[in-house]
């Protein structure tokens, strides 16, 4: 694979096959993969066509294992066993919610934000409807803020007056408002109130350093359009969701 570490913008332009006739401004909704990734992908597809039986029985499993080891190093997870691939970011959130729902007392509050991605808000709403475990709450995170502590304070104020909230979905980088939220501090406040956190890190990999163990959320789901990787990290421990208090 070509060595491209640390380069951005024009310096890395030739590594992508994007048309030079256009100025591509939206790399969030759909991504183009670097040439080296594109070529590696073609190789894998060729291997599959040459011997599908071998591919699905053996090669695929080995590649997924290797992939989760690579991703876990990138996101600061000490074990690749905490990292799995999911179909997309929405699927990661759904999987997290449904697994938490199994441990949930009925009518537990599920907190999203006014800036949550539309599909995630719909997912949260649908999970509330289908599973019947959750009641949807929305915290107002509209700017302006003086500093990151104001955002954290909004969580403290909200959770102080809504003790039924058991789970919060928090964006790492909001879409399309593009705010970088202080997720580590928000997780810490949520944990003070016994609230489990699912971080929606859809836009974070590749844009900001991620250390999931430092952030300390129960789940972190992220995607990298450029590499078509989706992952979710799960290390649930004794919060309201488990204890049912
Ligand atoms: C913040 C955020 N969360 C979730 C998603 C959904 O991602 P996916 O289409 O991979 O499910 C997006 C899509 O851009 C997003 O911006």
**DSSP 8-state code for residue 194:** T
Task: Give the CATH number for residue 204.
Answer: 3.40.640.10
Q: pLDDT tens digits, residue range 82-132? A: 888 888 888 888 888 888 766 666 788 999 999 999 999 999 998 888 877
Shared domain check, 207 and 88? yes
Residues 198, 164, single domain; the answer is yes
Asked whether residue 97 is domain-assigned, the answer is: yes
**Domain hosting residue 202, numbered range:** 83-243
Does any domain span residue 111? yes
Same domain, 42 and 125: no
Give the chain's domain count.
2
DSSP 117-162: -HHHHHHHHHHHHHH-SEEEEEE--PSP-SSHHHHHHHHHHHHHH-
pLDDT, tens only, 6-46: 677 788 889 999 999 998 888 777 778 889 888 998 999 99
Q: Are residues 141 and 167 in the same domain?
A: yes
- With a 6 A CB cut-off, is 28 part of the ligand 1 pocket? yes
Whether omega for the bond prior to residue 125 falls within 30 degrees of 0, making it cis, is no
Domain match, 111 and 217 both: yes
pLDDT of residue 3: 52
Average pLDDT, the chain: 84
Exposed / middle / buried, residue 138 (Cβ in 10 Å: 0-12, 13-18, 19+):
middle
Cα 151 to ligand 1 centre (Å): 22
Do 135 and 53 lie in one domain? The reply is no
Q: Is 204 in the pocket of ligand 1 (CB under 6 A)?
A: no
Query: Which residue's CA is the closest to the ligand 1 atom numbered 7?
Result: 89
Residue 4 inside a domain? The answer is no
> Ligand 1 centre and the CA of 139: distance in Å?
19
Residues 25 and 133 in one domain: no
Q: Is 27 domain-assigned?
A: yes
Residues 111 and 204 in one domain: yes
Same-domain status, 88 and 184 = yes
- In this structure, is residue 76 part of a structural domain? no
Contact between residue 195 and residue 219 where contact means Cβ atoms under 8 Å apart: no
Are 151 and 197 part of one and the same domain? yes
Q: How confident is the model at residue 244 (pLDDT cuts 50, 70, 90)?
A: very low
Q: How far apart are CA 79 and CA 74, in angstroms?
A: 12
Domain boundary pick from 37, 69, 101: 69
Residue 90 near ligand 1, beta carbon < 6 Å: yes
* 94 and 135, same domain (yes or no): yes
Tens digits of residue pLDDT in 209-218: 999 999 999 9
pLDDT of residue 134: 85
Q: Are residues 28 and 102 in the same domain?
A: no
Cβ–ligand 1 contact at 84 (below 6 Å): no
Residue 32 forms part of a structural domain: yes
Residue 91 covered by a domain? yes
Read off the tokens for 97.
Answer: 């919610």
Whether residue 78 is contained in a domain is answered as no
């Amino acid at each position: 694979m070509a060595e491209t570490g640390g380069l951005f913008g024009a310096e890395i332009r030739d590594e992508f096959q994007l048309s030079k006739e256009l100025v591509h401004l939206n790399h969030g909704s759909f991504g183009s993969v670097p040439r080296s990734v594109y070529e590696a992908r073609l190789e894998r597809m060729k291997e599959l066509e040459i011997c599908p039986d071998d591919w699905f029985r053996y090669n695929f499993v080995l590649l997924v294992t290797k992939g989760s080891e690579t991703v876990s190093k990138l996101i600061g997870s000490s074990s690749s066993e905490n990292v799995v691939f999911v179909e997309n970011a929405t699927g990661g959130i759904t999987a997290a919610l449904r697994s938490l729902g199994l441990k949930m007392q009925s009518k537990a509050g599920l907190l999203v934000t006014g800036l949550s991605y539309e599909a995630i808000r719909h997912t949260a709403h649908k999970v509330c409807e289908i599973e019947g475990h959750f009641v949807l709450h929305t915290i107002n995170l509209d700017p302006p803020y003086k500093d990151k502590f104001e955002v954290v304070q909004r969580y403290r104020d909200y959770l102080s007056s809504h003790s039924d909230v058991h789970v919060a979905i928090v964006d790492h980088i909001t879409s399309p408002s593009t705010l970088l939220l202080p997720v580590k501090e928000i997780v810490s406040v949520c944990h003070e109130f016994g609230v489990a956190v699912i971080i929606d890190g859809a836009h974070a990999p590749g844009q900001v350093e991620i250390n999931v163990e430092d952030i300390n959320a129960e789940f972190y789901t992220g995607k990298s359009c450029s590499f078509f990787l989706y992952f979710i990290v799960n290390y649930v421990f004794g919060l309201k969701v488990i204890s049912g208090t």
